[in-house]
A and B are shown apart, each in its own frame.
Chain A
Amino acid sequence: MTALLPRRGLAQILALIVILAVDRVVSPQFFDLRLQDGRLFGSLIDVLNRGTPVALLSLGMVLVIATRGIDLSVGAVMAISGAIAASLADTHGLPVVLAAALGAGLICGLWNGFLVAVLGMQPIVATLILMVAGRGIAQLITEGRIVTFSSPDLVWLGNGAVLGLPVPIAIAIGMLILTAAVVRGSALGLLIEATGGNARASELAGVGTRAMILAVYVWCGVCAALAGVIAAADIMGADANNAGLWLELDAILAVVIGGTSLFGGRFSLILAVLGALIIQTMNTGILLSGYPPEFNLLVKAVVVLAVLLLQSPKFSGIAAMIARLRGTKA
C-alpha cells in the first residue's frame, strides 16, 4: 500500500506531528509507554484506543463520501448495534452476539443504500430518516434503560489485549487492512471513485453505479455496527441515548481532514483514518492541557473551516493571486 502515501498525505502527517509535538509540550509524559499485564499503556495508546470508533466510522464514511454521498445515520446505527449486543451478551455466545449486531448494521446499510441507489433520494435526506428513527429503535431495544452486561467475551472486545495492543486498536487496524485490500486490491476503488466523479458517465461506461452505491452504504453500516459493539464493550453497557451521539459529525470531519472531497471522487482510506487520529489527538491534548473540554467543539470548528478553505479551489486561486502580486511588488 505504498501508493497510498504519496505527496497527498503530507499536510495531514505534518498536522499530526505538530499536534503531537504540542501534546508533548503540554504533557511531558505523553510519549511514555509501559507494558503491564500484557497490554501497553500510555497516552499514545489512549489516543489510538479512543480514536477507534471514529476511525472505524470514517472507514465506511470515506467510501460513501467518495460516491458523492453522506451517511448521517452512523451514530444511530452504533446505538442500535450496541443495544443489540448488550441485550444478547449474557444469554448468547460471542459469535451470535456479533452476528446479530453486525447483521443489524448490514440491514441499516441496505436500507440507506436502497433509498439512495434505488429510490434516488438525496443521501443527506435518506440517511436523516434513519438518524432520527434509529435512536428511537435503539431505545425500543433497550426499553429505554441502560442495559449492562458482564459477559467476559464481549468485555474482552473492548478492554482486552492482543500482542500488547488493546483489542479495539487491533480490530481497527484489521478493518483498515481488510478494506484497503478489497477496495485497492481490486478495481473496486476505481469504480467507486468513478461513480462519485460522474455517476451518469460511469453508468454509460458500464459501471454498475447502483450496486456500487448500495455496497458502500452496506459497508458503512457494518463499520458503524462494529464501532457500536466496541463502544458498548468498552463501557460494558449500552446507552441508546448517548452511544455514538454526534460521532457522524466526527466521522465526516475525519474524512474531510483526510482530504477526500465532499463532492465525491478520489478518496484515501488511510488519510481518513489519519484524520480520525488527528481529531482524537486534539481532543486528548485539550484534556491534558487542563483546558475545559468545552474547547473541543470550538477547536474542531476552526479546524474544519481551515481545512475546507484550504481545499476550496477559489481559496487557492486567491492565494495564488496574492502570491503573484507580492512577487511583482518585490
Chain B
Amino acid sequence: MKGLPPVLITAIVLVAGFALCAVQFPNIASTRVVGNLLTDNAFLGIVATGMTFVIISGGIDLSVGSVIGFTTVFVALAIERWGVPPLLAFVAILAISAAFGAAMGAIIHVFDLPPFIVTLAGMFLARGASFLLSTESVPITAPVYSTVSDFALRMAGGGRLTAIAIIMLVIVIGGALLLQLTRFGANVYALGGNRAAASLMGVAVGRMTVRIYMLSSVLAGIAGIVFSFYTSAGYSLSAVGVELDTIAAVVIGGTLLTGGQGSVIGTFLGVLIQGLIQTYINFDGTLSSWWTKIATGVLLFAFIALQQGLVALARRPAAKSVGAAS
C-alpha cells in the first residue's frame, strides 16, 4: 500500500471541497471563517485525537460524548455551586476522567470483553451520572471564563484564533508527535496490527490498553472543559451523539477501523471536512441541517469503501501466489 496514502486522499478532498465552497461563496475563503471553523470544532478535534489512538489500537470508545457532558456539568457545579476554584475543578475532573478511562481499559483487558460493549456501559454510566448531578443547564459566570472567551490571536484578514482553537491545535500536534515519535505510539500501532504478536514481542498489552482508554477519557475531559468555555454553561445533555461524529472524523481521516493504521493529522483533516460541510450549509441558508447528517453518511461510506478497496488491493498479490480462490 505504498500508493496514495489515505491521509493524502483526505487532504485532497478537504482542499477540493474548500475550493468548491470558495467558488460558490467567495466569503468562505477568509481567515474569519477558518478561525470560526477551528473554534466551533475545537472540542471535536480534541476528542477525535483520543479516539484515533483507541481505534488504531483496534478498539472503540463510545463513552466520549457522555464524558464531555459529565465534564461540563461537573465543572459548572463545582465552580458555581460548590465554590471550587476553576483550576482545581479542572484538575479534579481530569483525574476523574482518567480513572474512568483506566477502569474501562482494565475491564476490557482483564475480562476479555469487546470494547464496544464496555464503553457502551461507560456511556450510560457517565450520562446517568451527569443527569444525577443536574438536569438543568447551569450557566458559568466565573471571571476566568470571560477572560478565556475574550482571548484571541488576530490573524491577517480579521480572523480570530481563539484560546480554545489554540488548545485544540496544541493537542492535535502533541497527539501526532506522541503517536509517531514515541514508544507508546509504536505500541499503539503494534496492538492494532496484531494483538497476539504484539504481546509476544514484549508489549505489555494490559498496561497499554488501560493507558489508551485513559488517554481517550482524559482528552474527552479536556474537550468537555473546552466545550464549557465554548457554551459558558454545563448541561447534562450536551454533546449527545458526539461519539458518532468523532468516529466519522477518524474514519474520514483515513484511520482503519480494524486498527493498525491511521494518523492524528488525518483525523484533524476529517474534523475540518465535517466542519466545512456544516459551514457550507450555514452559508447556503436554504439547505436544512439534516443534510449535514446525510452528507456525513455519504462521506463515511465513500471513505470506508475506499479503505476496503485499498485493503483488498494490498492482499491480492499474496492471495494469488498462494493460489487461493477468492
A binding-site residues for B, Cβ under 8 Å? 70, 119-122, 124-126, 128-137, 139-140, 143-144, 240, 249, 252, 256, 262-263, 292, 294-302, 304-305, 308-309, 312-315
Report the bound CA distance from A225 to B123 in whole Å. 26
| Structural contact, B125 and A301, CB atoms closer than 8 A | yes
Contact B297 A308 (CB under 8 A): no
B interface residues, how many (CB within 8 angstroms) = 43
**Min CB–CB distance A252 → chain B (angstroms):** 7
Find B290's partner among A119, A136, A298, A304 (CB 8 Å cutoff): A136
How many angstroms between the C-alpha atoms of A13 and B123 in the bound complex? Answer: 27
Expressed in whole angstroms, the Cα–Cα distance for A298 and B129 within the complex equals 7
Contacting pair A296 B288 (CB below 8 A): no
CB atoms of B293 and A294 under 8 A apart? no
* Pair count A-B, CB < 8 A: 119
Whether B308 pairs with A249 at a CB distance below 8 angstroms is no
Contact indicator A128/B300 (Cβ below 8 Å): yes
* Partner of A300 from B124, B288, B290 at Cβ < 8 Å: B124
Whether A314 contacts B120 by the Cβ 8 Å rule is no
Q: How far apart are the CA atoms of A58 and B88 in the complex, in Å?
A: 45
Q: Which residue of B lies closest to A299 (CB)?
A: B128
Contact of A301 among B121, B244, B293 (CB under 8 A): B121
Report the stretch among B37-45, B106-114, B166-174 that lies at the interface: B106-114
In the complex the two chains form, is A133's CB within 8 Å of B297's CB? yes
Task: Give Cα distance in the complex from A188 to B13, angstroms.
Answer: 44
**Distance, CA A262 to CA B60, complexed state (A):** 15
Closest to B300 in A: A129
Q: Are A295 and B128 in contact (CB under 8 A)?
A: yes
- Interchain CB contact (< 8 A) of B132 among A70, A129, A294, A313: A294
10 further interface pairs, Cβ-Cβ under 8 Å (given A298-B128, A299-B128, A301-B121): A120-B308, A121-B308, A124-B257, A125-B257, A132-B296, A134-B297, A256-B117, A263-B114, A294-B135, A297-B128
Cα–Cα, bound, A132→B243 (Å): 11
Tell me if B111 and A132 are in contact (CB < 8 A): no
Contact A129–B304 (Cβ < 8 Å): yes
A252 to B117, CA, bound (A): 9
A120, B304: Cα distance in complex, Å: 11
Q: Is the CB of B116 within 8 A of A124?
A: yes
Nearest-Cβ distance from residue B27 to partner chain A, whole angstroms: 26
- Cα distance, A249 to B125, chains bound together (Å): 13
Interface membership of B127, Cβ < 8 A: yes
Check if B118 sits within 8 Å of A308, measured CB to CB: yes
The yes or no answer to B258 lying at the interface (CB within 8 A) is yes
B131 and A294 within 8 A (CB): yes
| Cβ 8 A contact of B121, one of A132, A143, A308 | A308
Query: Given the complex of chains A and B, what is the CA–CA distance between A263 and B107 in angstroms?
Result: 17
Docked-complex contact B304 and A121, CB < 8 angstroms: yes
Say yes or no: A132 contacts B304, CB within 8 Å.
no
Roughly how many angstroms separate A74 CA and B300 CA in the complex, as a whole number?
Answer: 18
Inter-chain contact B135/A135, CB cutoff 8 Å? no
Contact between A119 and B308 (Cβ–Cβ < 8 Å)? yes
Q: Which of A132, A249, A300, A313 makes the CB contact (< 8 A) with B300?
A: A132
A256, B118: Cα distance in complex, Å: 12
When distances are taken between beta carbons in the complex, the residues of chain A under 8 Å from B258 are 122
What are the residues of chain A within 8 A of B298 when measuring CB–CB? 133
Q: How far is the CB of A61 from chain B (nearest CB, A)?
A: 13
